[in-house]
Amino acid sequence: MIAVQNNRMPVTGFLFMLAGPTILVITGLLTGTFGFLSETVAGIVSWTAIILPGIGVVISIVSLARRNKAGKLGRSLAIVTLVMCNPFFYAFYFFICIIAGNTLAGLGWM
């Protein structure tokens, strides 16, 4: 029970990191099935996909900075979250979207 409480913040950060790309993939699949997505909705989905991993990074940084007694799993998940949420990745993604002129154009590169 105590181990689960100590790993709560890193696991939450990791899940937030996974939520961003998952939203983009689900949106891409639904767009392919039901037709096009309005530019406003696509923008909202894209910003949500950026903000959720960012929240996960903040949670992971806080959990590492607190030096709580998180086990190896908690520390590992926090570090994986920090590595995977590289700002270069998001800059590259939106560079593809700007060139293509479509907010979800970079989805295929994920």
- 12-56 per-position pLDDT tens digit: 888 998 898 888 888 877 776 666 767 777 778 888 888 888 898
* Distance separating alpha carbons of residues 110 and 92, to the nearest angstrom: 10
Per-residue model confidence (pLDDT) at position 1: 45
Q: What is the mean pLDDT of residues 105-110?
A: 56
Per-residue model confidence (pLDDT) at position 23: 86
pTM for this model (two decimals): 0.68
Please tell me the total count of domains within the chain.
1
Q: What is the mean pLDDT of residues 73-82?
A: 83
Structure tokens at 106: 């970079």
- Residue 85 has what DSSP assignment? T
* Distance separating alpha carbons of residues 104 and 86, to the nearest angstrom: 19
- Mean pLDDT taken over the chain: 77
Per-residue model confidence (pLDDT) at position 4: 54
Domain extent for 60:
2-109
* Distance separating alpha carbons of residues 21 and 86, to the nearest angstrom: 13
